[in-house]
Amino acid sequence: MAAKQLTAIRGTIVHCLRDPGESNDPDALQSFEDGLLLVEDGRVVEVGPTEELLRRLPSDLSVEDARGRLIIPGFIDVHMHYVQTDVIASYGEQLLSWLNRYTFPTEGRFGDAELAAGTADFFLEELLRNGTTSALVFGSVHPESADAFFAAAQRRRMRMIAGKVLMDRNAPDFLLDTPERGYQESRELIERWHGVDRLSYAITPRFAPTSTEAQLELSGKLAAEFPDVYIQTHVAENRDEVAWVAELFPWSRSYLDVYDRYGLLRERAVYAHCIYLDEQDRERMAESGAAAAFCPTSNTFLGSGLFDYRAARGVGMRVGLATDVGGGTSFSMLKTAAEAYKVAQLSGSTLSAERLLYLATLGSAEALYMEDRIGSFQPGREADFVVVNPGPTPLMERRHGVCDSLSERLFSLFILGDDRNIESTWIQGEKAYQALS
């Protein structure tokens, strides 16, 4: 149950009102050096300067004291695989051999409901430990994997989107469904979970190479039947993968065009990676309202390539930040933001501290069309937030001590930070994780 009573937390409050953009619009961020975040019934009532708010609030108001700490919206990770928790940090392969050698054998075990439930619990606890409060998540091909995940997220009252994978070719037999079975199982999962509490369903064709045209067609039919359901898949991640798609779908103009043909490009569709898109693809993404998941630790770890954030935003694509665990190497959105910065550097552009905060919170909420519920502290938003300790190690404490602006404090937090900075994580105004001090 969300806390009904009016409560408050006091600290340095920072959140984004919009994208700071390349020119780093100073009004895109709102901050209060000594601020108060007011919460009632699990939602944000107001944020503002402590002194001013306390003057007009009841004197017996319960205030959690987090002075010396940053209070920011919970991180939103727009692409992860909970069934790959045990695959993280597997040595030495690029995408296609990595899938065959590590990922498929591991995912094959997720028909076991007990293993799925245990892994979902671990995964969600790890998200909370890292300050992530919402995510868009792949299960395995087994419907049991989605059931286990939704049940575990529901118990924690977290806003989560997930789906069972659809795959009917080019993978081991034990991981294949059929177009009709995948359609039927997805339908049942939508009816069971979509819109229940804070949960949403995502139709989840793994990627074009592991679905027949019949399966992509039925995925599109399901999407048309449930227009407010999400869609998640992968596109244009790796050069060998792109070449394979051109062979499998010789009629297609591009990899993205395969999904477009089956009605899978639309609002609430999230495409992981989007590295090898051309200008026409980007324009089509923007026009359709589909979003890209920028997965920098995965893209460098698997040697996939560099996502062009500037080009994507330049044509108006929605872009969220994502860890892509287990292709990605960390659950931490702080570490992921640092990698995003480095990828931008290698691509001849840059990402300011303000934009990194935007990417990990409001930008990701916009990619999910959830900016009216999560990603900022605007009144009425769900009160999912993180209390960040800027100096949990001698180095971070020292570096923080010589910062002379909020921007510098945020930047060094994003570049040096990780799970050690996350002091507590709050879901709908209630503490869901507290670090040991």
Q: Choose the binding region for ligand GUN from 42-50, 95-103, 128-136, 366-374 (rule: CB under 6 A).
A: 95-103
Q: Outline where 278-361 has alpha helix (H).
A: 279-288, 296-301, 309-314, 333-346, 353-360
Least distance from ligand GUN to the Cβ atom of residue 177, Å: 15
Q: Using CB positions, name the residue nearest to ligand GUN.
A: 327
Binding mask 200-219 for ligand GUN (x = CB under 6 A): ------xx------------
- Out of 50, 103, 119, 133, name the contact with ligand GUN by CB under 6 A: 103
Nearer to ligand GUN, 293 or 360 (CB): 293
- Out of 234, 268, 313, 355, name the contact with ligand GUN by CB under 6 A: 234
Residue 327 as a binder of ligand GUN (CB under 6 A): the answer is: yes
Specify the 3-state DSSP secondary structure of 263.
coil
DSSP state letter for 403: -
Least distance from ligand GUN to the Cβ atom of residue 135, Å: 15
Q: Are 77 and 43 in contact (CB under 8 A)?
A: no
**CA angle (271, 202, 161) in 5-degree steps:** 100
Binding mask 47-86 for ligand GUN (x = CB under 6 A): ----------------------------------x-----
* Number of residues near ligand GUN (by CB under 6 A): 11
Q: Are 170 and 130 in contact (CB under 8 A)?
A: no
Q: How many residues does the chain have?
A: 437
Question: What are residue 14's DSSP bridge partners?
Answer: 31
Nearest to 135, CA basis, from 144, 147, 126 = 126
Least distance from ligand GUN to the Cβ atom of residue 45, Å: 40
CA distance 140 to 259: 20
CA distance 48 to 37: 7
Binding mask 11-40 for Zn ion (x = CB under 5 A): ------------------------------
Cα-Cα end-to-end distance for the chain:
26
Q: Map tokens 């070719």 to a residue.
A: 169
Least distance from Zn ion to the Cβ atom of residue 295, Å: 7
Least distance from ligand GUN to the Cβ atom of residue 95, Å: 6
Residue 237 as a binder of Zn ion (CB under 5 A): the answer is: no
For the record, the structure tokens of 76 come out as 């939103």
Least distance from ligand GUN to the Cβ atom of residue 103, Å: 5
Least distance from Zn ion to the Cβ atom of residue 292, Å: 12
Question: What are residue 135's DSSP bridge partners?
Answer: 77, 160
Nearest to 280, CA basis, from 310, 253, 307, 305 = 253
Q: Which positions lie near ligand GUN, rule CB under 6 A?
A: 81, 95, 99, 103, 206-207, 234, 237, 298, 324, 327
Q: Which positions lie near Zn ion, rule CB under 5 A?
A: 272, 324
